[in-house]
Structure 1
Amino acid sequence: MAEAAAAAAVYEVVETTAQIGVGAYMVAKPTMPLKATFSQIVTSSDDDTKLSLSRSGHTLCIVKNKAYLFGGETAAGKLASNDIHAVTLEPSEKGEPDYSVVPAVPDVEGGKVPVARRGHAACAFNICVAIFGGIDEGGEVINEGSMIWLFNAGKSAWETLESSNPDTGPQARRDAHLFDHQNSLVLYGGYNVAGESLKDVWHLDYMSRNWTQLPDAPISTSNATLSDGNLYIISGEGGISGDLHFLPLTAKAAGERSWHNVPFPTNPLVPGPLARTGAGLLPVSTGYGRQYLLYLFGARSSTPPEGNASTEDQSEHESKDSQPQFWSDMWTYQLPSSQPQLKPTTNIYEALKPAKIKDAIRGALGVDDGKHSWGEVEVLPPADMESSGGKVHPGPRASFACDVMKDKRTVVIWGGVNPKGDREGDGWMIKLE
């Protein structure tokens, strides 16, 4: 506790110093743009089997040192199998294989396993991969009630998370978003069996197995993520403006939870990302309390998908017919820096959260702290050009799968649809600094 107390004392001193305009702590150093380095993990062949890793509408979830890929539609237009593909991202003492295919088996004899699907929602949840909803082989929304599938990475087997109140849980859907939040799951949006867009938000408590509905989002969108206890969604209108909406999930009382809106311009005078669909939106950090949202790639879209056309269906249709622009850019949105965490187990520098201190000093000196602003990520050349095989960037694409590693500054992406409408089979690591 002594270290935590020291951290609190130092933080108070620096805050006071900032208020009197003395002692600028790295005030002049800008917080953006961030820089990114790409490295290719592997490229798979465009075979016509259900095990092909050239796919879209799939998911990638990182549990410990592995990326787990599930579902989607292959390059041959076939629904991928219900096997799990595991890619080792970092070596471990166990000497695990770099890549393996795990057949779908239940954790108990006679148990159930999920059917093959695409357009499902997924997230890493403890040592599991959680799956909800999606589209089956016949192109219909899978109706499994409010049940969650759990792939236990420790057992390499499937189990189910059944709701204690299935009649009041979320309805069947596709293209939704699922997030882990403090030993619970949060589900947002998607499209129902009739193809109608949804903007509802649900919370599933893992211990009680009870679903609770949270306030509906102001809009339905394909871009959503969860960071530091807030659910974020992005919407855009044309090429002149956009909105970041967020819902705090950590309010003490359910009645205190409400959506907030932060508009942002997207024009040559104040640069920002243009409206897009099939993009990636992830929470990232450069350490010490500095938090961002990373918004990457996607296809240009003036209207959200309608009817039974999923995000990936729309991307492919547009790429072949109207030839819209696919994006290869990446943007970061700077969030408010996180509060100091006074924990006896943390070192004083990490507990202090210098980003919060720097922002306090900037505010005291009348300098913009950069929060609630966009910056385009600067792409750096790879350290080893020869090992990249000539390709140093995945190129424009949409409907890919992505997740962020434990360090919060390394992003992994896989597959997707390119501007020609072809499905990609490559995996990439993106390191931010």
Structure 2
Amino acid sequence: MHVLVVHNRYASAQPSGENKVVDQEVALLRGAGHRVELFERRSDDISAMSLLGKAALPLLVPWNPAVRTELADRLRSERPDVVHIHNVFPLLSPAVLAACADAGVPAVATLHNYTQVCPPGTLQRAGLPCTECVGSGPLPAVRHGCYRSSRLATVPLAVSLSANRRRWWSGVERFFCISAAQRAVLVEAGMPAGRLAVKHNFVPEPGARRTGPGEHLLYLGRLAEAKGVRLLMAAWDRAAADGGVGVPLVIAGTGPLEGEVTAWAAGREDVRYAGLLDTAQCREAVARSVAVVAPSTWLEAFGLVVVEAMAAGVPAVAAGHGAFVELVDDGVSGLLHRPGDADALASALRRITADPVLGREMGQAARRRYEQDFSPAVGLEHLVEGYRAAIAGRAGDGDSPPPAGDGNTGSRRGRPRERDGGS
């Protein structure tokens, strides 16, 4: 196949799981012999813009006509079989959909978050789950200033969502939801169920696997409220007050709470803040873990770090909501804790470290689950299957065949459980 991937890369100053997924899918397709080209913008380039360009940028978030023209011209000249859209904010805009229509090329889109129904895409406000805009409109997000705690910054996203909602729903032949939990939210919001298929992200073989019981518990990710960093610190303090868990906590990453994490970890023997790690260091840190901790307070649409742990034969301790309930088989391949509950998280951390035999068995189960549902071979199969469905749908005048059952073309364990705190 000839695939054109459309993506606005997130700023390089902080790690982006979305950038990682795009890069891994491109490498996977090329390795399988497919021709893959890129149509990209980079958020890093915003800093080099003139003051006038920066001032005009919010006006182009809902619609960038220059992007439409440029992409349409490229599609007409290169004639790819399918366009795969990832992120379009802030430099591309939904104008990429019009370009695909102009050139008559079918489009698929991976939904990495909830921006189709929530302007900031997090389904969270003030650190708590929120679905006020789901199924209605984005005015509540503007009123509350949900993006960057700013009403002004939220306006372009809200306008884009309102103005382009139907364009997205009609202009994309197949949406890839990255979990069944995410799909359930989007269907409830009114998105066309027949175009929504579950395609979990895959993870490459890590090269490093756990060989012993592990040396530490690991938090690896963005240091932000929504990721449960403050919850983890509170749970760790409670566990420490009760005698500790027997192994140190390693926190790796960067983000808005970096200063707070650094101050909290300073002078402690049971906590180490490792800062931002490169890819090889991340894999090594995971492989040396008793468990990876993912205490997110928002409804994660996937949870890449959990699957990266699975690939290394390492269990996870994760919040029991969102996509985690379909990634982690509680008590078998890891542990789930009550979302937002520091005591429940502390209890899970004590349990996972207290029994090395249980930890080993959970790690083995996690690795088996990875091989079954999240390996590169499985990822390639589902990716190409989605492309073929989109091409067939366009050939059939846009009426793409609905996915079987609940739309799950990914994991065979994709039935969502009840969502916690989703309203």
In proportion to residue count, which structure has more helix? 2
User: What is the TM-score normalised by the length of structure 1?
Assistant: 0.26
In proportion to residue count, which structure has more strand? 1
User: What is the TM-score normalised by the length of structure 2?
Assistant: 0.26
By relative contact order (CA 8 Å, sep 6+), the higher-ranking structure is: 1
